[in-house]
Amino acid sequence: MPQRPLRIVTYNVRYFGHALRGLATTRSSVERIAQRLASLTPLADVICFQEVETRSLRSTLAFRGTRTQLESFMAAFEHAFAASKLVFPYDAFHFRAHTYQFRSTTLYTTGLAVIVNRNRLHVEGHNVTSPHSITHHHVARLKDTKQSRICAHMRLATSAGLAFHVFNTHLSLPTPFTREFWSEKEKMGFGLNQLIEAKKLSSFVQAHADGDPFVVCGDFNSAPASPVYRFLTEEAGLVGVQRELLQIDGSPRGFPTAGFMRLRMHLDHLFGGNGIRWVDLAGTQPFGSGPFHGLSDHVPLIARFEPPPASKASSEAV
């Protein structure tokens, strides 16, 4: 019997601090996001988070404890399964990006996370200890103050031996230190620094996928009509699930995935390559609606996909 498609979630969780408008992590945010993800049917096989801390003043000010932020989430996630008398199937991996300190006090940290359903997938490799840097430093003297941007990489395989790669990332905001920033009406995805980071990301993906099927996801801070999105889909050859399945038509704000006050933006994306077949987007809803409403300043993209029947990686593993 053929296996059902794999399900992936990509979600900027805003370090679980949306309940306090980003000032600090709260227990309620951690628990509510865990409960929503535990209630997905079918369950996600891969969950990719952006904006996940380790431990800092921001992550512990309102949420006391000795665990890292991801450990706290996983404890809440496991509790949500236990409450429904279900076996917890997930393993989590954290990819550190940046630490902001004042003297001996860690003010806040940044990072990515990938959570894998061990009942459906095997982890064959990752770059947890050395996430790939894609940061572009436009102003050299501000290098130490700029938030680092990375790409997390996981090599996974199904029980049938079909191998594929997952790349999780979070691009910078457009830099204001260029003339183009002030001359363009649209900003998100039009920054020169963002385009350079997208090119670094693409090079890393192509080098490490090496012809095998892959998924790239994250918060790209870029609209579908932007140069960043056009580069990734037209020059790099990535297939965006929302466009492939006709959920978007390329307009900048046609399907908002993030919001700030009354502003609505499409910033989050999910791409595939080297034979990944997108099946559906069941569970994906625009910002302002759905079960994840109010839990972050982003909503998750949720999609199902199938790796191709055979790949170089899977054939070598036999």
Question: Residue range 182-203: average pLDDT?
Answer: 88
The per-residue pLDDT for range 17-45, each reduced to its tens digit, is: 998 888 888 999 999 999 999 999 999 99
Cα–Cα distance, 137 to 61 (Å, whole number): 31
Position 207 pLDDT exceeds 50? yes
Given a cut of 60, is residue 175 above it in pLDDT?
Answer: yes
Mean pLDDT over 224-243 rounds to 97
Confidence at 317, pLDDT banded by 50, 70, 90: very low
Q: What number is the average pLDDT over the span 283-295?
A: 96
On the CB side of 256, how many CA atoms lie within 13 Å of its CA? 16
Section 266-279 average pLDDT: 98
pLDDT at 3 (0 to 100): 79
- Quote the mean pLDDT of the chain: 89
- Note the pLDDT of residue 11: 98
Instruction: Give the confidence band of 318 by pLDDT, cuts at 50, 70, 90.
Output: very low
Q: Residues with Cβ < 8 Å from 296, sequence gap 6 or more?
A: 11, 12, 13, 14, 18, 29, 33
Is the pLDDT at 184 greater than 90? The verdict is: no
The pLDDT value recorded for residue 148 is 87
Can you read off the two tokens belonging to residue 292? 């994840």
Q: pTM of the predicted model, to two decimals?
A: 0.91
- Taking residues 130-142, report their average pLDDT: 76
Residue 223: the pLDDT is: 95
**Res. 176 pLDDT band, cuts 50 70 90:** low
Position 47, amino acid: I
Q: How confident is the model at residue 313 (pLDDT cuts 50, 70, 90)?
A: very low
Q: What is the pLDDT of residue 314?
A: 45
- Which one is predicted more confidently, 251 or 94? 94
Question: Which pLDDT score is estimated for 217?
Answer: 98
Which residues are 112's β-sheet partners?
A: 50, 95
* Residue 158 in this model has a pLDDT that exceeds 70: yes
Q: Which of 51, 49, 48, 52 is nearest to 6 (CA)?
A: 48
Fold of the domain built from segment(s) 6-317: Deoxyribonuclease I; Chain A (3.60.10)
Mean pLDDT confidence for 97-121: 85
Peptide bond into 42 cis (omega under 30): yes
User: What is the pLDDT at residue 60?
Assistant: 80
- Indicate whether 225 pLDDT > 70: yes
- Helix 69-83 with 27-38: angle, nearest 10 deg: 50
Q: Give the separation between CA 155 and CA 222, rounded to whole angstroms.
A: 26
Give the torsion sign (CA, 90, 280, 160, 169): negative
